[in-house]
């Protein structure tokens, strides 16, 4: 279970690769809302990361997937 305080973030970014072509897909950005959090963490990733974006613009990796 992941516990994250949404007030600490301004958004979430999902990065990764396509499963069959090994090419990176364009980063997907989601807002720091409950639905944005759920969407970012429920994407079926293949070799990807979910990043939290802080108010100063820096990112922190919150989830990694290595298949």
The Cα 56–Cα 34 span in angstroms is 21
φ, ψ dihedrals at 33, nearest 5°: -120, 170
Task: Determine, yes or no, domain membership for 57.
Answer: yes
Query: What is the tally of structural domains in the chain?
Result: 1
Full residue range of the structural domain in which residue 32 is found: 6-65
Task: Determine, yes or no, domain membership for 1.
Answer: no
The Cα 59–Cα 49 span in angstroms is 11
pTM across the whole model: 0.86
* One pLDDT digit (tens) per residue for the chain, 67 residues: 668 889 999 999 999 998 888 889 889 999 999 999 999 999 888 899 999 999 999 999 999 998 7
């Amino acid at each position: 279970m992941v516990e994250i305080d949404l007030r600490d973030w301004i958004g979430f970014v999902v990065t990764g690769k396509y499963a069959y072509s090994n090419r990176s897909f364009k980063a997907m950005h989601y807002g720091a809302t409950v639905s944005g959090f759920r969407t970012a963490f429920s994407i079926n990733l293949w070799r990807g990361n979910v990043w939290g974006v802080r108010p100063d613009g820096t990112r922190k990796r919150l989830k990694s997937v290595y298949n």
